[in-house]
A = this chain, B = another copy of it.
Amino acid sequence: MDTNPQAQQGPDDGFLDTCLFFTANRLGRAITRMAEEEFAPTGLTPMYGYVIRLVNGSPGISQKELASKLSIAPSTLTRFIDKLEIRRLAERRVDGKTVRVYPTPKGLELGDTIVEASRSLRVRYEELLGPEMARKLSEDLKTASGTLE
C-alpha cells in the first residue's frame, strides 16, 4: 500500500500524457518489447527482420533506398548491413558510389519465419487494441510521421 499522499498524481504530471514526444516514445518502448518477443523465433530483432524482408523483396536495393524506406539514418543502416553480412543473411555489392544489397540463400530461407513473426505480432496487438483501433492508429502514426519529417 502506498501511503504517500502524492503517489497517484503528483502536482504536475499531466504534461507527460499530452506530450506527443513522450506518448509516442512510450508506445514505441512497449511495442518494441512485444515485437522482440514475437521475433525471437527468427533470431533477429524486428528491424533486422524488416531489412531482410525489404532486401528479399527488392534484390539489389541501394542502402540509400533502404534507409529511406525504414526512416533511419544511413549510418544506422550501415551497421545493420554489417551485421547481416557477418551472419550471411544479406550481401553487399558495390556499384559505383552506391552499394546494393542482395539476398542470400540463408536470408531467403528466413523469409517465411519473418512474415510469420510479423503476423503473430499483429495478432497479439490486435487482440489487445482491437483490429480497428490498431489499424487506425498505425495509419495516424504513418500520417503524422510523414508530416513531421
Which A residues form the contact surface with B (CB < 8 A)? 4, 6-7, 10-13, 15-32, 34-35, 46, 50, 53-54, 57-58, 61, 65, 69-72, 118, 121-122, 125, 128-129, 133-142, 144-145, 147-149
Contacts and interface: CB of A to CB of B under 8 A. Distances in A.
Contacts of A7: 65
Contact of A24 (B4, B10, B27): B27
Nearest to A9: B69
B17 A57 contact: no
11 contacts: A10-B58, A17-B139, A19-B138, A20-B31, A21-B31, A21-B34, A23-B142, A24-B24, A26-B145, A128-B148, A137-B140
